[in-house]
């Protein structure tokens, strides 16, 4: 890692942005866990589909000092459940519990897609003390459901006497993927390349999510949960290979970055500070401008959710077609797919 990339990571941390190492496949993830990338540079990691329990535990152990010093706010490893359970809440929750037990580390987060079933399973897992990475959140409306489930799960956990700090939640929005889908639609509509709506959609949705979280965390009931040890839910942005790091800066957020994306971002102009706080009005204007052109964020979100789940399920099926089907208790997904955060 270059000196410039290391400096950018330090600047992101000073702005309240936690860096997550994103690897393309289990071999790259294992390499990142073998060298001082984790802990020394990146404070969290996304284990790609196909990673083994031992790889996940190794990454968790490398990040354990960061996890302990931060009192559980960072130092996590996100591990995915098999995508075939995405529409079965009971099976998804069972797979998440089994996977959490297999990794057996307090800083492991179980990554599950936020379909309607995923939202239901999220609350069940948090109630049982299992930390969750809520992935593939493509709209502010779905994020509102995720926040509701987060509070509901913590309420149940509190009622059962569990410590709330043991079940954190991170929710991720693949900003780069969203922007690419919007760009393709604008291309089909013949919108000029220099039109101001270009490149604005993903940031607008991210700003809406950020504002929604700030509103929810200002309520009295959240203060009760916080007083009992609940950790603030963090928003994780996926930028993609085309960058956008400097446009997604806000307190208590995170960025999923490959080493290549980080190196490219280090060659760009320096960060200019917070880009998310008090920007919801601007976000609403950007989304209305897209709607006038016929591009609706809700429709884009629905298409991307279905497409990403199909891609993940197909990737896993290709790798496991010769293996007999098993129940949700098996835990690990064994197909190395380039999963979006």
What does the pLDDT look like over 119-168, one tens digit per residue? 999 999 999 999 999 999 999 999 999 999 999 999 999 999 998 999 99
DSSP code per residue over 198-245: TT-HHHHHHHHHHHHHHHHTTSHHHHHHHHTTPPPPEEEEE--TT--G
pLDDT in tens, 50-89: 888 899 999 999 999 999 999 999 999 999 998 889 999 9
DSSP code per residue over 178-202: HHHHHHHHHHHHT--TT-TTTT-HH
The dihedral region occupied by 271, where left means phi > 0, alpha psi between -120 and 50, and beta the remainder, is beta
Structure confidence at residue 332 (pLDDT):
41
Query: Alpha-carbon distance 228 to 307, whole Å?
Result: 39
Residue 243 — pLDDT band, cuts 50, 70, 90? low
Please determine, for residue 105, whether its predicted confidence score (pLDDT) is greater than 70: yes
Please determine, for residue 335, whether its predicted confidence score (pLDDT) is greater than 80: no
pTM, full prediction: 0.91
Residue 272 — pLDDT band, cuts 50, 70, 90? confident
Average confidence (pLDDT) over 251-271: 90
């Amino acid at each position: 890692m270059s000196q410039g990339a290391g400096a950018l990571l330090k600047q992101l941390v000073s702005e309240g942005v936690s860096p997550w190492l994103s690897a393309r496949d289990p071999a790259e993830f294992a390499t990142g866990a073998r060298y001082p990338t984790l802990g020394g540079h990146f404070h969290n990691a996304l284990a790609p589909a196909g990673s083994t329990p031992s790889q996940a535990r190794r990454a968790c152990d490398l990040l354990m000092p960061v996890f302990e010093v931060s009192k559980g706010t960072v130092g996590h490893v996100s591990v995915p459940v098999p995508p075939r359970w995405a529409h079965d809440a009971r099976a998804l929750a069972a797979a998440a519990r089994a996977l959490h037990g297999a990794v057996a580390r307090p800083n492991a987060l179980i990554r599950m897609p936020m379909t309607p079933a995923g939202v239901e399973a999220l609350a069940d897992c948090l109630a049982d003390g299992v930390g969750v990475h809520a992935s593939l959140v493509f709209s502010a409306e779905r994020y509102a459901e995720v926040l509701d489930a987060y509070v509901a799960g913590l309420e149940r956990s509190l009622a059962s006497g569990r410590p709330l700090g043991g079940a954190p939640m991170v929710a991720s929005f693949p900003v780069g993927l969203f922007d690419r889908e919007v760009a393709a639609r604008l291309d089909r509509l013949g919108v000029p390349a220099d039109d101001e709506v270009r490149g604005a959609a993903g940031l607008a949705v991210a700003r809406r999510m950020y504002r929604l979280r700030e509103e929810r965390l200002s309520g009295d009931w959240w203060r009760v949960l916080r007083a009992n040890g609940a950790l603030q839910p963090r928003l994780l942005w996926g930028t993609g290979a085309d960058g956008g790091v400097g446009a997604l800066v806000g307190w208590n957020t995170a960025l999923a970055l490959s080493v290549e994306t980080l190196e490219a971002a280090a060659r760009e102009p320096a960060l200019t500070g917070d880009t998310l706080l008090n920007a919801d009005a601007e976000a609403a204007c950007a989304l209305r401008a897209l709607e006038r052109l016929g591009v609706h964020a809700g429709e884009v979100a629905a298409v991307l959710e279905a497409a990403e789940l199909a891609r993940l399920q197909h990737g896993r099926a290709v790798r496991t077609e010769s293996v007999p089907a098993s129940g949700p208790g098996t835990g690990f997904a064994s197909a190395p797919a380039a999963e979006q955060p």
